[in-house]
Structures are given as structure tokens and as C-alpha cells.
Amino acid sequence: MKRRDFVKKATLGSLATLIGAEIVFGARMPEGYQPLALQDPDPFKMFSKNKDMVVLNDKPWNMEAAAHLLDDDITPNASMFIRNNGLVPENIDVSKWTLTIDGESVVNKKTYTLAELQSKFEHHTYQLTIECGGNGRSEFNPPAQGNQWTVGAVHCASWTGVRLRDVLKDAGIKNDAVYIGFHAADLHLSRDAGKEAISRGCPMAKALQDETILAFKMNGEDIPFIHGHPLRLMAGGWPASVSGKWLTGISIRNKVHDGSKMTGDSYKVPCKPIAPGETVKEEDLCIIESMPVKSLITFPKSGAMIKAGTALNIRGHAWAGELEVANMEYSIDFGSTWKPAVLKKPVNRLAWQHFSAKVEFPQKGYYEVWAKATDTKGMAQPMLVPGWNPKGYLNNACHRIAVKVN
């Protein structure tokens, strides 16, 4: 619940707890009045986020990480970006939470409580990379509307839950099933209960993969509220918008799911490349599926200063949607020549991979270190911003940091 909404409903006692002191003349406050101390919601405290995170929007809440915050192998909550399309759910009651499996292509419509889901199906834990389709949008020219993500709308936490496949099979999948769509408890920005903030999905083949799970734990604990507590669909390697938070339902569809943000130009790119600024017809747009190969230098921070004659140990992560990263390289001469970095295998499919390199600089001066990943199909990250598209999706250009050698 947002602090503003909470304040409206809170009693004097709970207000005092939030402020951390007794409100001495509290009984004389006009009804509904918000004490000044609580008028400015602090998203860093509210969502337990690192102070270096950047707030892109507060209605809905959108926050991004900086590259150096993503240095951990397993992303902690404090550094995970937040992307909301609507208003976060109010009054979550875990004991009454249910998940309904329905749709044209379900054999038996079924509703499960959380306890049933957890006791009936086997548990699995996977580290899963999810990246917002719009990560990197801020670099497109002409600019694209939407949150101006730089590089920080990606995370790779460890998620525990049950396989979506096991649950769908328990309800029964008809032969004509082609897609699933999720339903969630957050509210449309208009607060119109008849509209869903977001209801996306994926083809059956993705829904039935081992790693596609209904998660109830993140990094070994309850999923943080803002990341989808108490239940979240996790579809690693695909645009993060498929990974529905606050999950209440899955529809098995006999056609491509047509929920909110599945239709129109949402999460779609031109099927064939277009010129920057060109308009595209809706029928020439394709739904984004697996995300493209990409990497991030998480150490050091851009702007690092080092002494001449010392080597710099850089490190970071690389990922490639449904694929693995096969090769990792770096350049200190603006991409003219590349040297190999050390690249590790993923801990499981769809988890990002760690890389490191010992970088040596020939003389004092200003350098940039660029990092480039190549996937198992031979696709490499472009050095500059790739294919312009109206909504600014899929910018997987090489990440770069500035280094000064003194």
C-alpha cells in the first residue's frame, strides 16, 4: 500500500509508529489530515531500496538501479528496479489469496489457495534474469515516450515456486491452447475496476518450460511487496512485463492473449527495421519474445581513477534472453579492437553470467572500457543504439564506463 493511502486509513497509534514519536496533540488533528512528516513518501524507505536508485515516476512507482548497484551475483531487493503500470494492490490478505486457472482452453477451471499450490506441487528454485523491454530507452533518438530507463531495468534474483506447467496440467490443457495470459491484483491507474493495469502472457511453449514458475519466495524470503508478494509469475529471458506480479489468475487461451498491454503497440517492435522517426502500421509490429544479448559492467563505477602502471579488474554480468552468452569481450579503444574477458557458465538456464577481465592501459589519459557479449547463435551486442522503434524497446548497445589513468 502506498504511504499516502495508508495514512488515510491509519489510526493515531500507527501514525505515531510511522513518524517515530507520539503526536502530542494528535486527537485535535482534522480528520483525514496528513501530518507534514508523512506527506512526502520516501520510496527508498518504503521499498527498502538503496539511496543510489533513481525514481523515474511516482505514479505509478518506477525506480531504476545504477550499474554499480547490480554488482552482486544474485540481485538483492535493495538494488532491484521497480516497474509498475498501475496502482499497487491495497489490503493483501495472504490467507485469502487465490490463483484461478481458466480460459477457453482449460479442461477444468480451478482455483487454488496459496497453501494448496505450495503443498500440491513440487518446489523449484531458479535464478532468473528479467529485463524491462524499455531498458535503455533514454538513448533513442528521436526520443521515445515512457520511462527513460538508462541501464538499470534488469535484475537476476533467485526465485522459488512451483512450475506453471504442473499447475496448468493439473487443471488440464486442451489441444487448441496457444497462449497463456496473466491476471493480477494491482489497479488500473484510473481505478476503474473493470480495467486491468497489465495482463500479458506468452505462447504455450514458454509457459511449459521448466523455469517458468509461479514464485512465492525471492532470495529465500517472502517476495517483497513491491515485487509481487505473495505470488508472481516468472518467465526469465523474456521482457519482464510477462512476469506478472501480484498474480491472481492464468487464462489458457486458444488465441494470442489480448489483455491490457498485449494489444496496440505495447511491447511490440517493427517486424522489419524502419528508419528513425518513421511511423509503423499496427499489423507490421511483432510481439517481443526472447530479449536480445546484453551485458553490464558493474565494477568499477564509471569515472574510476587509477594510477598509471596498475591494471584494473573489471567485472559484470551478461545475459541473452532464451539463449546463453557464448563469448565476452572488452575494448579500450572505442571498439576498434577487442580482447577476451573471462566468462562463467550460468548457475541455471535463464540466469545471467558473470564476466571479469584484467584491463591494462598503455599510458596516462582518458579511456572508455566497452563490454560486448555474443550469444550462442553468434549475435553480438551492437556498439551503438540499434534499430529505432516507436516505443524505444530493446536497446542492447554495449555498456561503457569512463576510466582516467593518472
Ligand X SMILES: Nc1nc2c(c(=O)[nH]1)N[C@H]1C(S)=C(S)[C@@H](COP(=O)(O)O)O[C@H]1N2
The contact set with ligand X (CB under 6 A) reads: 80-86, 132, 155, 184, 186, 197-198, 227, 240-241, 243-246
* Residue 378, all three cell numbers: 553468434
Residue 215 CB, shortest distance to ligand X, in Å, is 11
> Shortest approach of ligand X to residue 274 CB, angstroms?
23
- The backbone region for 378, taken as left when phi is positive above 0, alpha when psi lies in -120 to 50, beta otherwise, is left
Contact assessment for residue 111 and residue 98, using Cβ atoms and an 8 Å cutoff? yes
Q: Give least dist CB 377 to ligand X, A.
A: 24
In whole angstroms, the minimum distance from the beta carbon of 198 to ligand X comes to 4
Phi, psi of 163, deg, nearest 5: -70, 135
Q: Which is nearer to ligand X, 196 or 329 (CB)?
A: 196
The residue number with the shortest CB distance to Mo ion is 132
Place of cell 515516476: 57
Which CB sits closer to ligand X, 198 or 312?
Answer: 198
Q: Which is nearer to ligand X, 196 or 375 (CB)?
A: 196
- Cα–Cα distance, 77 to 99 (Å, whole number): 25
The interface partner of residue 99, options being Mo ion, ligand X, none and the CB cut-off 5 to 8 Å by kind, is: none
Residue 184 binding partner per list ligand X, Mo ion, none, with a CB distance cut-off of 5 to 8 Å that depends on partner kind: ligand X
| SS3 category, 42 | coil
With CB under 5 to 8 Å by kind, the binding choice for 296 among ligand X, Mo ion, none is none
Are 359 and 300 in contact, with CB atoms under 8 Å apart? no
Which partner from the list Mo ion, ligand X, none does 69 bind, CB cut-off 5 to 8 Å by kind?
A: none
Q: Please identify, using beta-carbon distances, which residue of 103 and 228 lies nearer to Mo ion.
A: 228
**Closest CB 237 distance from Mo ion, rounded Å:** 14
- Lay out the site mask for Mo ion across 125-164 (x = CB under 5 A, - = otherwise): -------x--------------------------------
- Quote the longest CA-to-CA distance of the chain: 71
Sheet holding 365-375, edge to edge: 304-306, 399-405, 365-375, 325-331, 339-340
Identity of the residue numbered 154: V
Per residue in 110-123, is it b (16+ CB within 10 Å) or e — as a string? Answer: bebebeebbeebee
| Among 26-34, 58-66, 76-84, 213-221, the segment contacting Mo ion (CB under 5 A) | 76-84
Q: Nearest distance from residue 331's CB to ligand X, in Å?
A: 30
Q: Which of 146, 389, 190 lies closest to 272, judged by CA?
A: 389
**Can you list the alpha helix ranges (DSSP code H) found in 329-394?**
none
Q: How far is the CB of 268 from ligand X (least distance, A)?
A: 13
Nearer to Mo ion, 83 or 253 (CB): 83
Q: Which residues contact 235 (CB under 8 A, 6 or more apart)?
A: 130, 202, 206, 207, 212, 242, 243
Please report how close the Cβ of residue 47 comes to ligand X at its closest, in angstroms. 10
Closer of 184 and 350 to ligand X (Cβ): 184
Q: Restricting to residues 231-270, name those near Mo ion by CB under 5 A.
A: 240-241
Torsion from C-alpha of 198, 203, 206, 212, nearest 10 degrees? 40
| Residue number with CB closer to Mo ion (267 or 352) | 267
- Residues in the interface with Mo ion (CB under 5 A) total 4
CB 22 within 8 A of CB 35: no
Cell of 317: 554480468
* DSSP code at position 13: H
- The smaller minimum CB distance to ligand X, of residues 86 and 292, is found at 86
Which partner in Mo ion, ligand X, none is near 198 (CB below 5 to 8 A by kind)? ligand X
Residue from 3, 68, 83, 294 touching Mo ion (CB under 5 A): that is 83
Write out the residues near Mo ion by the rule CB under 5 A: 83, 132, 240-241
